[in-house]
């Protein structure tokens, strides 16, 4: 078979990514060869994959997580188009893992046809290699101002003949209106592919919800395939940093007598904020994202995370008073860590003719390094060690590189070839490597050192915390939620047989899309 399904949503952050992962894990348990797919993602949270040519490439972190749910290594074809916003007006285009262009709302239509063709071709290949491909939409399929030229939501479903389910977040309120409205704003051909709904993040008595589900079926002619309950433990590998609450996860009680408080600055263009998720799995470690200078003063460890716009976010740091709070924290001898863009901010100067084109701007001056941005982006996996014998792995995604450094400055990490990486000077640490805290031994060693420097003598790391195991438990939980709360027999019929015939039209509908992405040849290739 060559089955498929599109998981669309009433809004961003409705639960498309986690539901897609859960369906993937459920199918894998059934012995199905399944793969995930998202034609176009817009996110600054990415993962690094080494492609067939040996070069590193980027794809959306959600698709890397979904690949793990399938028991697969991430494949660049799982997310062929990744848009990384660098400002409110422009995004970097990553095509099959490689940064190739920058687009704005004004010129996006000029490159959209090329992106769509690449995405359709990737889906064609995946459907030839796997039994089932579970596709994730983006935003809402009822963004009627964007329907012409769409190749991510109903444009993709139309081209590939995919049955579609629409997931809605009941925790936001208005879920029935948004589900009905989603269908009613689609044209007749798109509506014919929308098979039904899934309610996400429900809390309370299912019986109180049933009259609404019954009425939704009467007015749309479509069933609700399940109601997924609110699950507190679904916070790892967030697609977007805005999905985080102020405190990450549910911090377990400390093994010692002291808690360790970690404050992560929520930069406007924060990227790969998932770096700190591993810290939040440790007992006694409270990790919170903040934009309040006062909260940095009370923290044991302050983290400046990665960013897609280093110079612009550094200016914001100064405008908000957070830069002064960071400097005061470091001057007090308390630990400070910069990761990627955050590391670049800690240096003496940033020379940027590439990303911001701002030329030379002063850094925070906490590390004796200077950073120069280069046109070619470094994208690669990283392996090495810390403190001589502690294994560390991670990945790099950056244009900025250390161009000048004090020769006596100690590196934070070392590559496998012995060359130094990053820097450490007293209580200030910096690295270009993302994902290092997923290495359990390094994370424990770092937190022990941070606790001592912060005066938290009663803090003790847990010797048995495994971040990989925590991630696997999350994927299993997603699979359990699908198996226990969705009509999996009905889902399987959709995947195997396609959209049910005779689905009723819900007025008023929209006029047929006049797409400028021509699909006839693509239709035959994908189907």
Q: Which residues are catalytic?
A: 340, 434
Q: Specify burial of residue 243 (Cβ count, 10 A radius: 0-12, 13-18, 19+).
A: middle
Residue 193 token pair: 């592919």
Q: Identify whether the C-beta of residue 317 lies closer than 8 Å to the C-beta of residue 326.
A: yes
Radius of gyration of the chain (CA): 24
CA 276/CA 297 separation, integer angstroms: 19
Count of C-beta atoms within a 10 Å radius of residue 63 = 31
CB count, 10 Å around CB of 413? 24
Tell me if 499 sits within 8 A of 158, measured CB to CB. no
Q: What is the dihedral of CA 470, 475, 476, 481, to 10 degrees?
A: 130
- E-state strands within 25-159: 34-37, 40-42, 46-50, 56-60, 81-85, 90-95, 98-104, 132-136
Cα–Cα distance, 120 to 388 (Å, whole number): 47
Q: What is the spatial distance between Cα 41 and Cα 503, in angstroms, rounded to a whole number?
A: 29
d(CA 304, CA 347): 12
Residues whose CB is less than 8 angstroms from the CB of residue 196 and which lie 6 or more positions away in sequence, other chains included? 165, 166, 222, 223, 224, 225, 490
| DSSP structure class, residue 363 | -
**What are the beta bridge partners of residue 60?**
46
Q: Is there a contact between 33 and 71 (Cβ–Cβ < 8 Å)?
A: no
The token pair at 15 is 């639960």
Dihedral pair phi/psi, residue 514, rounded to 5°: -100, 75
């Amino acid at each position: 078979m060559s089955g498929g399904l599109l998981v669309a949503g009433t809004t961003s952050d409705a639960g498309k990514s986690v539901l897609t992962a859960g369906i993937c894990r459920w199918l894998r348990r059934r012995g199905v060869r399944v793969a995930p797919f998202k034609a176009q993602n817009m996110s600054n949270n990415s993962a690094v994959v080494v492609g067939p040519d040996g070069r590193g490439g980027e794809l959306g972190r959600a698709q890397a997580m979904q690949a793990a749910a399938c028991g697969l290594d991430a494949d660049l074809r799982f997310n062929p188009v990744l848009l990384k916003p660098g400002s409110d007006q422009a995004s970097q285009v990553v095509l099959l893992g490689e940064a190739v262009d920058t687009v704005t709302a004004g010129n996006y239509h000029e490159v959209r046809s090329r992106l769509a063709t690449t995405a359709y071709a990737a889906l064609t290949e995946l459907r030839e290699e796997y039994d089932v491909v579970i596709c994730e939409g983006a935003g809402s399929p009822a963004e009627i101002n964007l329907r012409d030229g769409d190749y991510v939501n109903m444009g993709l479903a139309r081209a590939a003949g995919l049955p579609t389910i629409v997931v809605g977040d009941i925790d936001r309120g208005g879920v029935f209106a948004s589900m009905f409205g989603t269908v009613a704003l689609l044209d007749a051909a798109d509506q014919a592919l929308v098979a039904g709904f899934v309610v996400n993040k429900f809390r309370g008595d299912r019986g109180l919800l049933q009259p609404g589900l019954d009425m939704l079926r009467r007015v749309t002619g479509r069933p609700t395939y399940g109601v997924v309950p609110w699950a507190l433990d679904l916070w790892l590998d967030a697609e977007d940093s805005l999905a985080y609450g102020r405190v990450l996860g549910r911090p377990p009680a400390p093994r010692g007598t002291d808690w360790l408080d970690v404050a992560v600055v929520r930069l406007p263009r924060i990227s790969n904020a998932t770096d700190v998720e591993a810290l939040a799995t440790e007992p006694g470690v409270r990790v919170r994202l903040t934009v309040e200078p006062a909260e940095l003063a009370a923290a044991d460890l302050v983290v400046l995370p990665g960013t897609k716009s280093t110079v612009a976010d550094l200016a914001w740091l100064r405008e908000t008073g957070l830069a002064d709070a960071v400097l005061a924290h470091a001057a007090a001898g308390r630990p400070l860590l910069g990761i990627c863009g955050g590391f670049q901010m800690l240096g003496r100067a940033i020379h940027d003719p590439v990303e911001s084109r701002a030329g030379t701007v002063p850094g925070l001056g906490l590390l004796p390094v200077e950073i120069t941005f280069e046109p070619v982006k470094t994208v690669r996996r990283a392996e090495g060690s810390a403190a001589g014998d502690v294994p560390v792995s991670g990945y790099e995604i950056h244009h900025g590189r250390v161009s000048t450094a004090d020769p006596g400055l100690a590196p934070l990490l070392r590559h496998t070839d012995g060359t130094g990486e990053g820097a450490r000077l007293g209580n200030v640490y910096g690295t270009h490597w993302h994902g290092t805290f997923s290495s359990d031994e390094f994370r424990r060693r770092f937190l022990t050192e941070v606790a001592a420097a912060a005066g938290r003598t009663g803090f003790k790391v847990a010797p048995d915390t495994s971040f990989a195991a925590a991630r696997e438990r999350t994927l299993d939980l997603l699979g359990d939620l699908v198996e226990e709360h969705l009509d999996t027999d009905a889902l399987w019929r959709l995947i195997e047989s396609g959209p049910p015939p005779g689905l009723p039209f819900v007025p008023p509908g929209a006029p047929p899309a006049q797409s400028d992405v021509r699909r006839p040849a693509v239709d035959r290739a994908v189907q």
